[in-house]
Every structure is written in C-alpha cells, then in structure tokens.
Amino acid sequence: MELRQLEYFVTVAELASFTKAADALHVSQPGVSAQVRKLERELGEDLLDRSTRTVQLTSVGVTVLPYAQAALRAVASIHATIAELNGLVRGRVTMGTVTAMGRTIDLPALLASFHEAYPGVEIGLTEDGSEHLVEALRSGRIDLAVIGRTGPRPPGIALYDIVNEPLVAAVGRKDPLFGRKRIGIDELSDRALICLPPGTGLRSTVEAACAAAGFRPHIALEAADPHVLAQLAGRGLGVAIIPTSPARALGMEVHLIDIRQRPCGRLALAWRTDGPTSPAAAALIAHARALLPEAL
C-alpha cells in the first residue's frame, strides 16, 4: 500500500469524481483510476461504486475513508513537525469562511499579514455554510474556519467568539413599520422576510427566534450578503433581518428597528480539538486570535 494510492482514493471520494480528482491532483484520469484499482486489489474489496454518474463509496469504502484521511494527515504532520524542529514553519493551511460573512471581518488583511509572517506556508481559502465547514474541520479538509455560531459548541470543535451583534429589522421608507423604534418578533409573523440562506448561523438564529414566538417565518427572498439583504428591504421588497453594521453602512436607504427579543448574529473562529494540528495550522489559529479581539 502506497501513500499515493491513499491520496488518490481520498481525493476521488471527497470530490465524487475521477475527472475532478485528476484535475485536483494534476495527473491523468487513467493514472488515478489505475492507482485506486491497485489499492482495491490489495485490500481485496471495492472501495468505490463506479456504476452511477457520480462516484460513490461502497460500504467498505465508507469504513476505510476516515483511516485513509487520518494516515495522510499523520504523514503531513510528520513533515511539518520536522520543518518546525528545523526552525521553519512550512506546509499548507486551509481556512474556511461562511459565505455570508460580508464585511464584518477583514479576512484579506488577516491572511495577508499571516503570509507576511509565514511566507513558507501555502494558504487555501474556501467558502461554505457553517454546517459544511464544521464537517470539513472534523474530516481535516480545512484547519480553521469562521462560522456562524448557534446553539451549543459542536463536539470536537473549539470556538473563539469574534462577533456578537444584535439583529435588527430593516425596512424601506414606504413600509408600514417605517418610523417604529422597536417591535416584537411576533409582529413579523405575517410579513415577507428577507434573510440569509439556510445553513448559515444568522438564518438559524432567525428561525429559532420565530419558533420561540410561535410561528414559522415566511422567507420571501434570500441572498448571501447582508448588504444585499438591506438593499432589497430598502426597495420595499420585505423586511430584512440582519446584523446592525451592514444596515448602518447604507445610511438613510433603510430604517432600522430594534427587535425586542434581541436575537444576535454571532461569528466564531472554529478549529478541531480531536486529531493532530500541523504547525502551520497552529500558527494561523494563533495569528487569527491575536488579530481578532474576542467578542463579549
């Protein structure tokens, strides 16, 4: 069994495609297929079901995948540890972020300053929903993430709160609620709401607040950027539920109304506590915590 075979198998499994895996690995598709077949012959079991349009794991493949991922992480950690002992921090670190973070955090500045401090580390960045980012942390596909925080801390994940901002209702000048200073969340039970997509922390917070008030929100429009939500509300298309700062950035285009129950939009740095952490990942986690003050 070779590490290359494990790498090819893991990449195909994660991307559900031999073609995409070959592109990611910068090798030919027949080469990827041949190495995975060689691994399956050695194990005496099929790991991948090739009979469907997208490649799927067999029951044996599902069992083997976490061990293959762990083996690759262990080898990467060995190389990184040796580099650290030699006084170098090298390798690759991947950070994830919620798609709807907007301008709350200056992520480009954070990554640029990290690159300046650790030029030998290759940096990767990916966007996704909070739930998918947590799963990517657990599997080791990413090392650090900015996620929307709702509910209890996910098992095996450390959290460092960096944003804790009250949500407000944003409406246009012609909206019936224009001029109000405060409303109860129940007053929005029959209104068309504008909110972030499912899977984001803010969307979960809004749904939980509405459920506590005894109704299911009618989400009429969705957008990934809080600034766009506020702009839609300003055009009279509904009531946007968003953090205060992006709404204030629009000035007089929208009217902001406090919500009596004070639901909050929360963002946190997240990283896994189970399994090894590479020196590069540890450096990025420490760098991010030093640059971003902890939210109260």
Question: So what's the pLDDT on residue 144?
Answer: 94
Residue 52's identity, in one-letter code, is: T
Question: So what's the pLDDT on residue 191?
Answer: 95
Q: What does the alpha-carbon distance between residue 189 and residue 183 come to, in Å, rounded to a whole number?
A: 12
For Cα atoms 250, 201, 286, give the angle at the middle one, nearest 5 degrees. Answer: 95
Q: What does the alpha-carbon distance between residue 264 and residue 261 come to, in Å, rounded to a whole number?
A: 9
Question: So what's the pLDDT on residue 132?
Answer: 87
Q: What is the CA radius of gyration of the chain?
A: 23
Element (H, E) at 194: strand 192-195
Question: So what's the pLDDT on residue 285?
Answer: 92
Question: So what's the pLDDT on residue 227?
Answer: 81
Question: So what's the pLDDT on residue 1?
Answer: 79
Which ranges in 200-243 belong to alpha helices (H)? 201-212, 226-234
Residue 22's identity, in one-letter code, is: A
pTM of the predicted model as reported, rounded to 2 decimal places: 0.63
Question: So what's the pLDDT on residue 73?
Answer: 82
18-25 vs 29-43: helix crossing angle, rounded to 10:
110
90 φ/ψ sector (left φ>0, alpha ψ -120 to 50, else beta): beta
Cβ-Cβ contacts under 8 Å for 252 (sequence gap 6 or more): none
Question: So what's the pLDDT on residue 175?
Answer: 93
Q: What does the alpha-carbon distance between residue 32 and residue 121 come to, in Å, rounded to a whole number?
A: 27
Burial code (b: 16+ CB inside 10 Å, e: under 16) for 42-53 equals: eeeebbbeeeee
Closest CA to 272 of 126, 179, 117, 153: 153
Residue-by-residue pLDDT tens, the chain, 296 positions: 788 889 999 999 988 888 888 888 888 889 899 999 999 999 999 999 988 778 899 999 899 999 998 888 888 777 766 766 555 567 789 999 987 555 567 888 999 999 988 888 899 999 888 888 999 998 888 999 999 887 788 888 999 988 888 889 999 989 999 999 999 999 999 999 999 888 777 888 899 899 999 999 999 999 888 888 888 998 999 999 988 776 666 555 788 999 998 888 888 999 998 777 788 888 899 999 988 887 76
Question: So what's the pLDDT on residue 117?
Answer: 86
DSSP states of 115-184: HHH-TTEEEEEEEE-HHHHHHHHHHTS-SEEEEE--SSPPTTEEEEEEEEEEEEEEE-TTSTTTT-SEE-
Question: So what's the pLDDT on residue 296?
Answer: 60
Which ranges in 98-216 belong to alpha helices (H)? 107-117, 130-139, 201-212
Q: pLDDT tens digit string along 194-225?
A: 998 887 778 888 998 999 999 999 999 998 88
Question: So what's the pLDDT on residue 246?
Answer: 64
**Residue 172 corresponds to which tokens in the numbers above?**
């246009």
